[in-house]
Amino acid sequence: MIDRLASHLAGLSGWRRRFLWVVSGAVAVLALPPFFFLPALPVAFALLLWSLEGVKCNKGALSAGWWFGTGHFAAGFYWISHAFLVQPEVYGWMIPFALLGLGGGLAIFPMVAVWASWRLTHGIIGRAVMLATLWAVAEFLRGHILTGFPWNLLAHVWAIDPAPMQFASVVGVYGLSVVTGLFAMLPATVIAGRAGRMTAIAGILIAVLLWGGGAIRLAMVGPLDAEATLADDLPIVQVVQPNIPQREKWLPELQDQHFAKLLRLSRRPGDMDPARKRIVIWPETAATFFVEAQPVRRLQMASILGPDDILITGAPRTYPRDTDEFKVWNAVQVLDASGKIIASFDKFHLVPFGEYVPFRDWISLPKLTAGRTDFSFGDGPKTLDVGNIPSFSPLICYEVIFPGAVIDDAHQPDWLLNITNDGWFGKSAGPYQHLAAARFRSIEEGRPMVRAAYTGVSAMYDPYGRVLATLPLSGEGVLIHPLSEVYNHTTVYYLWRDILFYGIVAFLAVLVLGYSRFFKSLKAAV
């Protein structure tokens, strides 16, 4: 039956074949957050690989990769349309162009991967292994070219549970994507006789090994201390999730109301020891004003703090540092109990068209965020040492999605802080996909993570990516939990970064190409 289906798909042509590629690309999205329907991944890639058996020319292979990628990215990034609906009268017309442009543009990466795997290999087994390898390479390139956009990587399907994610502490998320690609693509080889059936079983066993190996690692480090009490000798983290709709956030007539809400949610709980040190955290641009220019509001913010408490908030920041030119930064600012700003951090990885417009001299489009002035770039990852709390690396919004680029190696932090505003994307898959990427950074770097999201999902993770506390999407609330113990462990990935990923790619490429060359020579000799 499977053989007949594969043969039928190989025989498709024209619009039927293109339709199959688009649909199969979209089906693969079901394995990603928040759905986590893992069988969708091998099914989608089986449809692609079986249909590739009928492709006879370079154009057909390029078309297969592009249509598959377009379906995959358009379906995976549908939530971007929500951002344009915050002000539909201004940006609504851009939705189809944004979805098709983003999907079709990003599809270039899988297009090249599919074409190269088809061109360089003979037989479905070698092609499946090569495609798994090159797909991960394409993800790596997508994460670096034109500022990078490493969103919805294959490895993110394992964010369903911390156990299979643990391998990322060794090879990073890109290395885990190679392994995930093998899991996704090897089952398609079942049509290649006995060798194919053995290979298909090996693909399924990858999931078992990832889960089993990760479970063993977590068992070795001990149980999750999810029941930590307020009596523990650790600072208390109090994450505020105001859940104010994005279209209301910047309305001038509601600013005082929003500010009062943030202050109310930030007050010390009545049952908490008055002497207990707190770290109060507000999300990205929760303060919708220039904090440094508002001394009265700084005193109001300080009024909710105890003598040893600090308040960390996202806010726009202005005042030029080394120039008279007016600039605005998307910033993190830290206040002490006197209302003094004791530390700042400026976002360094800005969202194109969201926070600045590339090639502004040639493109006259407005950015999506409030204000007419583009945000300026910060200086890069930075460790903040404030007061007498453990040092931390602040990451604003999607800065957290970039592997290996979240800490200052010269000044290592004790924990990671991600403040974000995912309210742009409503009740969609977008916030969950963002959350999964952030969770991987905690595992890769071996450091706890605190995440404060304006509308959710706010969360705290230990250095192994295990959930300590969480607040749901689209809910107002306060997350209160002791800061995870800052006994960080040094991961292999932290030491070697993507070196093992390069090694895995090189090994698999040489293996497949060597096998293909040997097979061709043997066939010629016969």
Beta-sheet strand order (sheet of 467-471): 392-396, 415-420, 449-453, 458-461, 467-471
Structure tokens at 198: 């053995």
347 as an active site residue: the answer is yes
Confirm if 425 and 82 have CB atoms less than 8 A apart: yes
Q: Catalogue the E-assigned strands of 99-241.
A: 236-241
CA distance linking residue 233 with residue 229, whole number of Å? 9
The DSSP output letter for 356 is B
Structure tokens at 391: 């040092």
CA distance linking residue 297 with residue 294, whole number of Å? 5
Confirm if 512 and 133 have CB atoms less than 8 A apart: yes
Inter-axis angle of helices 124-142 and 193-221, nearest 10: 40
Confirm if 503 and 495 have CB atoms less than 8 A apart: no
Structure tokens at 7: 């043969």
Closest to 50 in 3D by CA, of 32, 68, 37: 68
Element holding 481 (H helix, E strand): strand 477-482
Sign, Cα dihedral of 347, 351, 354, 355: positive
**Three-state secondary structure call for residue 520:** helix
Instruction: Enumerate the β-bridge partners of residue 469.
Output: 460
From the CA atom positions of the chain, what is the Rg in Å?
A: 25
Query: 139, 284, 399, 444: which is the annotated catalytic residue?
Result: 284
Structure tokens at 388: 């007498």
Query: 139, 277, 382, 397: which is the annotated catalytic residue?
Result: 397
Structure tokens at 126: 């070698």
To the nearest 10°, report the CA torsion of 298, 301, 303, 308: -100
By CB neighbour count within 10 A (0-12 exposed, 13-18 middle, 19+ buried), where does 28 fall? buried
Query: 249, 347, 367, 382: which is the annotated catalytic residue?
Result: 347
Confirm if 315 and 328 have CB atoms less than 8 A apart: no
CA distance linking residue 420 with residue 334, whole number of Å? 16
Termini Cα distance of the chain: 32
CA distance linking residue 476 with residue 458, whole number of Å? 11
CA distance linking residue 190 with residue 196, whole number of Å? 5
Q: Which residues are catalytic?
A: 284, 347, 397
